[in-house]
Amino acid sequence: MHDPIGPGMVRAAWARLPEPVRATLPIWFGSRVAVALLALAAARVLTSAPARNAPGLRTLWDRWDVGLFTKVARYGYLSPAYSDRTEVDFPGLPIAMRIVHIVVPDWIVAGLVVSFLAGAVAVAALWRLAADEVGKSAARFAVLSLICFPYAVFLFAAYSEGIFLGFATASWLAARRSRWWLAGLLGAGAASARISGIPFGVALAVQYVASRRSAGLPVFARPALSLGLPPIPVLAYLGYLRIRTGGWGSYTDAMRDGWHRGLDWPWSGWTATWASATDGNGASTFVWFWRGELLAVVVGVLLTIILLAGRRWGEATFLGVMTVIMACTNYYASGIRGILVAFPLYLMLARAAARQSWVQSVYLCTGTPIMAALVVAFTQGQWVD
């Protein structure tokens, strides 16, 4: 009697998976194992405490905003169970954590599962986007450039970057194929996860207009209605907060009360952040954080210019609007994670590597050690971003 699930059936099932999944899942899974092992090893090497007290994987990844997302997933917003102003966190990740929690009892682990699954979708869609442009070899580098991005630690942790990137890259792939209703629906998923969904929705509209014009098709047609889908989660969330609080300013109030942030001119934010980034008496982790935020704005501007020069109107819009949003505050924060989810960057790197092979070696040799160091820092409870 033959085993119903033998090696042959496994190989056949694997062969039936879409090519982007087969090309990226081993890399993604292997990288997640490597990050987990690095975190566990660092927790044991960087302490002289008894071995029995060494923290496990769950404890290592229960850091910073993970606790805030977990509170929202467990108790909802504006709950008497906690006092944090979590209204600044969009509901996409908490909702996904709550769904996964049905089968994964631990909330932190549920968040890690969401990030793993969302990341698997993101790298598969990114590979397909790059392969369509520059071939499979360079597409593999696009995936590696994301995995080895210096701040890719937030793709492992239960943060919203992974779920946003999964929806956004899949939406952009659908847009490239003129499947606008699917693109709009997936864009709505991205908009539910983080504020980066607002510039993404604008970019999707620009991409729609550019692609319809290049194809000689009328812009004002039925598919244009799909562009109304991405704003829905944002409006619904703001409406929910309005009902709960009685006012429309709950999001901005939470940002001001919890993080002392508000709208301001870009030069004011730059000046304040520059002062913190050049403070020789400041804590090292925070000084380098501020420097990274300044660099994020510079990178955002440069990428926007490059994409505009290449007439990639949709991608340039995404980077440009996102950069404006992160620059127009009284100090810069979370901009580095904005660049992390800027998938046009990885497509740009793939195009560069297809022309010049040294780009891949330089990027990976530079980015990977920094990424590893920040994984250690994050899991050791040091501020990363």
pLDDT tens-digit profile of 188-219?
Answer: 999 999 999 999 999 999 999 999 999 899 99
pLDDT score, position 4: 59
pLDDT score, position 166: 97
pLDDT score, position 3: 53
Crossing angle of helices 65-75/92-100, nearest 10°?
A: 70
Would you say residue 7 lies in a domain?
no
Q: Read off the pLDDT of each residue in 329-346 and give the average, rounded to a whole number.
A: 94
Would you say residue 1 lies in a domain?
no
Residue among 277, 259, 334, 260 at smallest CA distance from 300: 334
pTM of the model: 0.94
pLDDT score, position 2: 52
Interval 50-104: pLDDT, tens:
877 788 899 999 999 999 999 999 999 999 999 999 999 999 999 999 999 999 9
Tell me: pLDDT of 340 over 60: yes
Boundaries of domain holding 84:
22-48+56-380
Would you say residue 16 lies in a domain?
no
Would you say residue 165 lies in a domain?
yes
Would you say residue 316 lies in a domain?
yes
Number of domains in the chain: 1
pLDDT score, position 374: 96
- When computed from its CA atoms, the radius of gyration of the chain, rounded to whole angstroms, is 21
Q: Read off the pLDDT of each residue in 181-190 and give the average, rounded to a whole number.
A: 97
Would you say residue 385 lies in a domain?
no
With 0-12 / 13-18 / 19 or more C-beta atoms within 10 angstroms meaning exposed / middle / buried, residue 311 is exposed
pLDDT score, position 235: 96
Q: 263 in helix, strand or coil? A: strand
Tokens of 144: 């590696």
Contacts of 326 (CB under 8 A, 6+ apart): 296, 297, 300, 332, 334, 335, 338
Residue among 362, 348, 343, 303 at smallest CA distance from 147: 343
Would you say residue 17 lies in a domain?
no
Tokens of 48: 């002289």
Would you say residue 362 lies in a domain?
yes
Tell me: pLDDT of 1 over 50: no
